Amino acid sequence: MAQFSIEPAVAAEPIPRARRFRIPGETLAGYALVSPAVLYILVLVAYPFFLALYFSLSNVTVSGGFGGFVGIANYLRIIHDPVFIKGLENSLSFTFFAEIGKSVLGIGLAFLLLQSLRGKKLIRGLLMIPFTMPLPLALLGWKWMYDPQFSVINRVFGDMLHLMHQPYPVWLGDPVFSWFAILIVNIWRGFPFAAVIVLAGLISIPKDILDAARVDGAGFFRTWHFVIVPLIAPILFIGLIYDITFTLSDITIVAVLTQGGPNSATETLPMLAYQTGIAGGNLSTGAAEALILFPLLLAGLILFLRMLFRRAVEE
């Protein structure tokens, strides 16, 4: 009869205390590399945000200092202010129509750059100039083009093409034309970014899939809706989130061209918050006007992320 012997299990060697808590070199290097970004977020994003939240719940002015906590009284007051309502409407309408314009021009430009063109690389570089050029410098050129006396827009469309008749529009002095003037500049600055985002997604799609859709008889719109968008949806959503945030919080275009006028026709929430909090010295009301955008952006972010998650689960 065979004999079986069971040897006792060898106890695991205890890890020395110094070895147990030692941080590997790669981990330490990772912390070192990410620390500048974390410091940047804490100093330039988190601290101003919580300071603005503190101001919006208090009574703080430049002349009087801290006057005690008031809760949501600042928010209740501004939502009944006609100037604030006008600024909110302008911000939302600017963002809505700007995103439509950027999407249409960006998609068209992306498909154009997919074609075989001479000097395509040079064209791609030139098209990024509006997005990379310092905005105040570009706005000086736009201010000259909108000038009532020396406007190149009035000269081209009026004197040369005869599509406008005198008296030519005062682009930055009329409530209707100033609204369109701001919108045009916003679209001009942002559509190259939209084109780059769409182009990056199109390049990542295998050519066989597009050829198969073409063989099956799918036109442009059906190919875009049923083939391209499902494949590049994450890229489109991330680009859209970034651009909506950038457009809603933009203040430079309005500040340089119209200062919110005429008659609050181009007043946006960032411009109104600056005029109230910085120029007017009412830090509490200015902070409340600026933070109204936060729940809007947070709701949009949650919506887009849920859509992305739902797509990932379905796939």
Per DSSP, the residues of 20-38 read HTPPPHHHHHHHHHHHHHH
**CA distance linking residue 107 with residue 66, whole number of Å:** 50
Strands 65-69 and 58-61, by their bridges, are antiparallel
Kindly state the tokens that stand for 92: 């939302």
**What is the C-alpha to C-alpha distance for residues 161 and 126, in angstroms, rounded to an integer?**
26
Q: What is the C-alpha separation between 105 and 185, in angstroms, rounded?
A: 13
Q: Phi and psi at residue 2, in whole multiples of 5°?
A: -70, 145
Beta bridge partners of 61: 65
Go through the domains of the chain in sequence order and give each one's CATH number: 82-270+291-314 (1.10.3720.10)
CA distances from residue 215 to 114, 209, 222, 298, 300 in whole angstroms, order as listed? 19, 10, 13, 42, 38
Per-residue pLDDT of the chain (315 residues; tens, 9 = 90+): 444 444 444 455 555 554 555 556 678 888 888 899 999 989 988 998 999 999 999 888 888 777 788 888 999 999 999 999 999 999 999 999 999 999 999 888 888 888 777 777 787 778 778 878 888 888 988 998 998 888 888 888 887 887 877 788 888 888 899 999 999 999 999 898 888 888 888 888 888 888 888 888 888 888 888 888 888 888 888 888 888 888 888 899 999 999 888 888 899 999 999 999 888 888 999 999 989 888 878 887 888 788 777 776 666
**CA distances (Å), origin 89, targets 82, 223, 293:** 11, 35, 12
Q: Which of 144, 87, 94, 89 is nearest to 286 (CA)?
A: 87
Contact 235, 200 (CB under 8 A): yes
